């Protein structure tokens, strides 16, 4: 969420990779640039901070400069279920130097969401059928508003995905679990941003908006910055997940 979130990622992710022995780092970047959208600078900062793949959501289209970047940088995904002709693509076949592989898929929900996208359930079903042989490890970012839609996606993919996690609401949920057929699930990862805020935005501005119902300019909050997410341990041979843990790591600026 804006510069505070990017700075936290750049500082903390390399340490987490080393301490946790992490092979693959994925982050949703759709609010990386000023709290709305992602531009080339913010994407490159996140990649330089140790993120291997960036997913996104409905705000991916806010910065026009990112359109050609989506075509050229396959490691930045937009939701796969946008209509044909949208820049970029919604899945990537990742591989590291040691030969580890994963299929990473980005989806967007339809319930309470502003964009008219295709059915995410049929979309992910088709992607897995076409590309599932690439790796048993399948990671799905379900970018959606409704908890029910995210939950349904978890059950829909149980046994076919290694992990299904939700993004979009910025509030970390406490329902992490491994479903019966080996798929890790959490309704929302939370955010990398300021907790003393309203979902990463200066709280006074948001409260005023609720009180007055007048247009207002949103500014990214900067106090009490936290990196949130999950760490999972997955069997690379079967794609089934052995463990899922929530992450909540505080970050402070060097100037205090």
Query: Which residue from 134, 140, 135, 138 is spatially nearest to 153, judged by alpha carbons?
Result: 140
Query: Which residue from 78, 89, 75, 79 is spatially nearest to 46, judged by alpha carbons?
Result: 75
Does residue 66 contact residue 37 with C-beta atoms inside 8 Å? yes
Query: Which residue from 254, 200, 208, 204 is spatially nearest to 226, judged by alpha carbons?
Result: 200
Query: Which H helix or E strand runs over 20?
Result: helix 2-20
Residues catalogued as catalytic: 59
For the purposes of burial, counting CB atoms within 10 Å of the CB of 104, is it exposed (0-12), middle (13-18) or buried (19 or more)?
A: buried
């Amino acid at each position: 969420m804006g510069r505070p979130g990017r700075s936290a990622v750049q500082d903390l992710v390399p340490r987490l990779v080393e301490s946790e022995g992490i092979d693959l780092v994925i982050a949703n970047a759709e609010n990386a640039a000023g709290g709305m959208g992602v531009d080339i600078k913010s994407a490159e900062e996140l990649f330089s901070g140790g993120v291997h793949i960036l997913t996104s959501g409905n705000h991916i289209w806010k910065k026009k400069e990112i359109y050609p970047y989506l075509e050229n940088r396959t490691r930045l995904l937009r939701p796969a279920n946008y209509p044909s002709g949208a820049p970029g693509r919604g899945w990537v076949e990742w591989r590291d130097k040691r030969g580890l592989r994963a299929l990473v898929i980005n989806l967007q929900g339809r319930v309470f969401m502003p964009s008219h996208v295709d059915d995410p359930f049929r979309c992910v079903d088709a992607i897995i059928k076409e590309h599932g042989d690439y790796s048993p490890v399948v990671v799905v970012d379900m970018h959606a508003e409704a908890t029910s839609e995210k939950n349904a996606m978890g059950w829909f993919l149980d046994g076919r995905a290694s992990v299904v996690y939700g993004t979009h609401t910025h509030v970390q949920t406490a329902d992490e679990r491994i479903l019966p057929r080996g798929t890790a699930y959490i309704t929302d990862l939370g955010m990398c941003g300021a907790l003393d805020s309203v979902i990463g935005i200066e709280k006074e501005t948001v409260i005023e908006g609720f009180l007055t119902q007048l247009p207002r300019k949103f500014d990214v909050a900067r106090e009490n910055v936290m990196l949130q997410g999950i760490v999972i341990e997955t069997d690379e041979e079967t794609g089934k997940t052995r463990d899922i843990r929530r992450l909540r790591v505080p970050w402070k600026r060097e100037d205090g």
